A and B are shown apart, each in its own frame.
Chain A
């Protein structure tokens, strides 16, 4: 395995957060800083170590993974960012070692005794901070490494912890905090105010009417049975737009009593890429709005990192269980979603797959005959939820030509879109072009001309990759294809 000791990863450092975002979000030590000059507070070492100790006491995963890794190297070539850069620090184990080496120096006997020979850092200086900032923001938190590790050591856990520590000395990235700010104070990552959202949905209604679908999209409707929450890109972005049309067509043929919301107009959660606090803040809006609107349960649209929070975290980050909601039941099939009885939030693919299974949808898969469809497993649905079969089940029913990708980059072994974890930003685009290469090659080999996926970040990232690699492959959501195949009532 070839390594490049010139550390090419250093070329891609994410931009510093804007001062205004830092201030409005109340982040520590708001200031304008650059990669050359972090302008750290004078006692930053103390703060750094205090927060490091705090994450070591908060997350058993982090504490355990410090001791557990045997440096076997099985994870080394599993990270797309390592494969792209050959930068030694981008091997998952070496990424952890950036954290582990400080741990050894200050929190572990072996490092205190033996120093660098035992893998401890020489000193906690700004070089360490620079390494952390570079490489912990060169991890998409995709967890691919953890799948292959004999002990399930999940580098994303370390990345999340490291980012908390970086934040404590006032280091965060521009694109992430910008989106968080908009989400917390306007309602969604894109910063779409209520009127613009309403306009956009009206525009969609018109478009659909022209296509012969007399659809109405309810917004902020009190007393609806279901609150539908989806990433804001779905009603503003391309190709997300077509997925959104798929949802509303589906709800229309079902005559579903649902509503969208302006206050909870974001399913995604960029807070996840910054800190526990902001992840919780963004997620909390969903329940708050569900309560205000008086819905029975919540349905979530296609999104990857959204479900990392919804599926893994939503059940423990809130003080009270959402008792004002009811256990989710499909009003069409009567199916009880037993997998979501606690959080009361169902994935759209679970919902649709259940409909198909019960024969409740009139589908004409030949409507998608112009496509040879393949499916990209987004990292979070595949590795955090285990949502692997449902989308495939749906695809096989809504199109006639479906092919799988190479097993080495498929299902839980998927190579992520490489734009998650706060990396959906142009300053690292060149890096992502390289990192996504193994996936692109697999897609090319599959012979597909439609790449189906269930994630808003994927939908933003892949069309750019397709243009870069000059591939005439359309990118779209699973529910775009569902929408195509639906027979109008």
Chain B
């Protein structure tokens, strides 16, 4: 057996999945371990949870805020994400449920072959934008380029395999099923295919440490997932601490002369009350 194919196909694939799952859980766990002490929803903040779900759905499927923000980027980013999604779905159908094409229709099978090219085009646009716009060059750091280039390499390889390198889908399918069944068999040894798989595995392992975590983070963002009900419902701040503020007593000591004129007859009463307030520990804010 080809040891390289074995390593990429049967060893690294398991490692990648493990790193991905543990890494993602750890990263999300880290986020969730930090409390949300205050209400910070941004308009349009729905007051109910169904409202929040609709809001998030609009963000996830339509990139609503980005649409408001920058139309050109919206076109590029939305195209990229939608075709990434369709590409993933097509992978699943092709490799795991190939028979489904007979239901969907082989016309779509042909069409699906070209979506990878659009995906590559969208990536070229995103990279070009980073390089050509002055502010994007300023903002972009190594990880920003790394992800784009890695994705481009993966997509390029994918397109190449599909068009020029005759990897047998049935063989790939058998390999994937063997991985799922935990009885791994070697993958096809086509070098282009193995490169494609290797790069994809690198990406999968890199996700938990990268900004790609936004695919979960978008649901965690408090400005978007909170209800706008700050005055409607009490919200708990777990690290809240008492503060000492100027008591009525101190206030009176400072401004008694002036207050006598305003509070008038109430003065005596005010003095008495002040006593009961001093002993009052339940008072808001100490």
Contact = CB atoms under 8 A, between A and B. Distances in A.
A143 B140 CA distance: 23
Interface string B249-270: 0010011011101110010010
Nearest to B211: A70
Contacts of A70: 144, 211, 214
**Which 5 pairs from chain A and chain B are nearest by CB?**
A284-B285, A148-B69, A152-B223, A74-B69, A195-B258
A386 B69 CA distance: 19
Contact of A152 (B42, B136, B277): B42
B142 A316 contact: no
Contacts of A388: 43
Q: Output the residue of A69, A94, A150, A184 with the most chain B CB within 10 A.
A: A150
A445 interface: no
**Size category of the binding interface on chain B:** 35 or more
Interface string A71-113: 1111111100000000010010110010000000000011000
A187 B262 CA distance: 15
B43 A386 contact: yes
B283 A222 contact: no
Given A118-B141, A314-B231, A147 B246 contact: no
5 contacts: A73-B135, A88-B138, A318-B285, A345-B231, A386-B45
Interface of A: 1-3, 56-61, 63-65, 67-78, 88, 91, 93-94, 97, 109-110, 114, 117-119, 143, 146-154, 157, 184-185, 187, 193-195, 198, 219-220, 222, 262-263, 277, 280-281, 283-285, 287-288, 291-292, 310-322, 338-343, 345, 382-386, 388, 411-413
A316 B240 contact: yes
A194 B142 contact: no
Given A60-B220, A72-B73, A74-B73, A193 B234 contact: no
A284 B35 contact: no
A265 to B, nearest CB: 11
Contacts of A118: 141-143
Interface in B35-61: 35-45, 47, 59
A189 to B, nearest CB: 15
Contacts of B142: 114, 117-119
A240 B22 CA distance: 57
Contacts of B258: 193-195, 198
Contacts of A320: 282-284
Contact of A150 (B38, B66, B237, B257): B66
